[in-house]
Chains A and B, each alone.
Chain A
Amino acid sequence: MSQLSDIPVTVTVLQAGADAAPHGRALLMELENQLRDLVEQGRESSIDLRSLPLSPGDLAFLEQHLGKGEVTAEVSALGPSTVQETAIHGVWWVRHYNSNDEVMAEFLEVTQCPDIIRAHPADVRDSLEDLRARLVELE
């Protein structure tokens, strides 16, 4: 099956003024609210970027104003996921891709560490068994 990327189309994003990012500022204000909750009450939250009517300009606006932080991580689980801390500590840009590298879900997570990074206790327990089995094999 041919992929979208195989079709020779050039996309030009309009460079208009404030019109290009009508929702950018509102989203930054929402993040300000969520970050305040994290600081004051330790409450984690996130924004599902795919559920909002964003223009391409909005996303560019967000990328520009959130910037790139210290942590970049890649997870491979049912296709890759990328986790990027923004220059605003505690605000993470998480993108879940499928095995065709198409974005399946995209979130801005407001947390100390996104869940997708942590090892799940049940997986850790299973791995303990696994490691022991490997040791037995070595004997």
Chain B
Amino acid sequence: MSKRPTVAEHLARQGVSRRAFLKFCAATASMMALPPGMAPAIAEALGQRRRPAVIWLSFQECTGCTESLTRSHSPTIESLIFDVISLDYHHTLQAAAGDAAEHHRERVQEEFAGEYLLIVDGSIPIADGGVYSTIAGMTNLQMLEESAKGAAAIVAVGSCAAFGGIPKANPNPTGAVSVADIIKDKPIINVSGCPPIPVVITGVLAHYLTFGTIPELDKLGRPTAFYGETIHDRCYRRPFYDQGKFAKSFDDAGARNGWCLYELGCKGPTTYNACATTKWNEGTSWPVESGHGCLGCSEPDFWDAGSFYKAVSMPISDLGKLGLAAAAAGAVAGVAVGLHNRHVKAGAKAAHKPLTADELEGDKS
């Protein structure tokens, strides 16, 4: 059994006051997309939870996910979470430590068997015996299988680990697959995105750290707190979409007025991610706010889903309801902002048909 201090003890040792701890909990609740009233419950849970051991494996990847996390907000509450979470082995950050680091990984796997959290970024190449990516003489496949055995849960960080990502893109020369394609007997949380939003990564880790449980997941294994709604559902340009006001090129009057980027290929309507609310670069902005459509990076096979600049097809049956739903949103309470599209989604499975601006114009209410 681990004798690690509880999270609250650890913070107190670092001279963090209760007031600061409260702030930490408030920011954590916000990060986990929980209601602000949850902060005291988080404080209580953190007072009892022991710091978990964490092993981070990087496979066939570009290090963008690790960059996304470590380059953001430093030093911050997120990095504090990281500090608290006790990263025992991260072989990108530890590359220089070689053999000693490998032994350390083995020790952690033994000492905390059944308890540690395994974080994986990058896909796993399995063609030709897995020779396309090896670490310390082991193929990624071997290392994943070995490290997964004693893990309490696995977090697949980034679209590569979650779905295969860019390495898996056609024609997939290395036979890249996702973590869930290989490991079948452990809970796996997919934190997709290319890269995922840093606060989403830390939010998921904070959830595990705080409650010791796996958050609610969607059918692709993603936490619904962050991937429960599409970019389009929460996009601030949505009122323009509902009015049929579309930018037709990146420098026309519509683009300058901040109109919807649907016709310029925005994949917001089919992409589940939290960019529209958490934003990027310390909350500065996000792709649509910067004038470019969403690429759909948090969805499986986004790289092969056709041109980034071609409009996605939408089920035509949705249209009549959209204008109404948007109009109603202005009249209901603020917490409902952005949630108003939930009820129309059920019908969105209908046959997909490309949609033109003219059809939208004709349909606005």
Contacts and interface: CB of A to CB of B under 8 A. Distances in A.
A53 B283 contact: no
B333 interface: yes
A115 B337 contact: no
B36 A47 contact: yes
Contacts of B18: 120, 122-123
Given A16-B258, A78-B16, A120-B17, A98 B73 contact: yes
B263 to A, nearest CB: 18
B329 to A, nearest CB: 7
B73 A105 contact: no
B37 interface: yes
Contacts of A33: 333
Contacts of A123: 17-19
Interface stretch (B25-33, B180-188, B189-197, B299-307): B25-33
A51 interface: yes
A48 B276 CA distance: 15
A105 B234 contact: no
B239 interface: yes
B335 interface: yes
A138 interface: no
Interface in A42-78: 45-48, 50-55, 58, 75, 77-78
Given A4-B282, A16-B258, A78-B20, A104 B76 contact: yes
Contact of B333 (A1, A29, A99): A29
B28 to A, nearest CB: 9
A9 to B, nearest CB: 10
Interface in B216-252: 234-236, 238-240
A135 interface: no
Nearest to A57: B236
B127 interface: no
A122 B21 CA distance: 12
A28 B277 CA distance: 19
Interface residues on A, range: 35 or more
Nearest to A127: B17
Interface in B318-338: 329-338
B71 interface: yes
Contacts of A116: 19, 22-23, 26
Interface string B67-93: 000010111110010000000000000
Most buried by B among A1, A30, A105: A105
Contacts of A75: 19, 23
Interface string B24-54: 1011011101011100000000000000000
Contacts of B236: 22, 53-55, 58
B258 A14 contact: yes
Contact of A98 (B75, B281, B284, B333): B75
5 contacts: A19-B240, A47-B335, A53-B277, A78-B80, A100-B74
Q: List the 7 shortest-distance A-B pairs measured between CB atoms, nearest first.
A: A30-B334, A77-B20, A120-B18, A27-B334, A98-B76, A55-B236, A53-B234
Interface of A: 1, 4, 14, 16, 19, 22-23, 25-31, 33, 45-48, 50-55, 58, 75, 77-79, 81, 96, 98-100, 102-105, 107, 109, 115-116, 119-120, 122-123
Interface of B: 16-20, 22-24, 26-27, 29-31, 33, 35-37, 71, 73-77, 80, 234-236, 238-240, 257-258, 276-278, 281-284, 329-338
Given A28-B334, A48-B29, A105-B27, 4 more contacts: A16-B258, A46-B36, A78-B20, A123-B17
